[in-house]
Amino acid sequence: MAKKVALYGVLASVGLVFSYVETLLPLTFIAPGVKIGLANGIALLLILKNDIKGAFLVNIIRILLLNLLFVNPFSLIFSLSAGVVSTLVMWLVSKTKIFGAVGFSVLGALTHNLVQTVVALILLGSGVLYYSPFLIFSAIISGSAIGFLAKVLDKKIKTFF
């Protein structure tokens, strides 16, 4: 138990640093909300290790802390809803065993963007649909990159303990 708490703490911190690094690299000129999703690689790694509870915990802790520390609290609605739903989708897709790490990473990224678009649709109106093609492309590119990364990490890290 103590080992798990320590592990999740460390992974959440690593994710937090990744999230912070991402805020220094603004890709929002492509479309608002576009990012690499480095931090999601941590959750992805936990899903690959079959630790779904850990993936949820680490992602939720990271998003809450990130919004408290660096971002406007209003964006919490965006990040938390998208974070929870995309983690759920990645887990369900990994259960089906149809796709590899890259596949569910891309689907996770796509869900993340989709949920944010829906939230924006509710808060801001229908005009946000203009960005949907760019959000699909960014999900493909960043999703595959992070999926690939998580797969490499999964191979290198045999077990956490």
Partner 1 sequence: MKKADVKLIICLAAVGVILLAVVLLCSKTGKTVVITQNNKQIYSGSLYEDKVIDLKTNVIEIKNGKVDVKEAVCKNQICVKHKQISKKGEQIACIPNKILITVE
| CA 28 to each of CA 34, 48, 59, 111: distance values in angstroms, whole numbers, following the listed order | 5, 29, 22, 18
Give 57 or 113: the residue with its C-beta nearer to partner 1: 113
Q: How far is the CB of 46 from partner 1 (least distance, A)?
A: 20
* Stretch binding partner 1 (CB under 8 A), from 49-57, 58-66, 80-88, 135-143: 135-143
Residue 39: half-sphere exposure toward Cβ, Cα within 13 Å: 28
d(CA 108, CA 116): 12
User: Which one, 74 or 161, has the nearer CB to partner 1?
Assistant: 74
> What would the x/- binding string for partner 1 be over residues 31 to 50, using CB under 8 A?
-x------------------
Q: Is 90 in the site for partner 1 (CB under 8 A)?
A: no
Of 12, 16, 89, 106, the residue at the interface with partner 1 (CB under 8 A) is: 106
Of residues 5 and 122, the one with the C-beta less far from partner 1: 122
Q: Residues 130, 27: contact at Cβ < 8 Å?
A: no
DSSP 91-115: HHHHHHTSS-HHHHHHHHHHHHHHH
CA atoms within 13 A on the CB side of 72: 3
Q: Any idea how long the chain is? A: 161
Interface with partner 1 (CB under 8 A): 23, 26, 28-29, 32, 71-72, 74-75, 78, 98-100, 102-103, 106-107, 110, 120, 123-125, 127-128, 130, 132-134, 136-137, 139-140, 144, 148
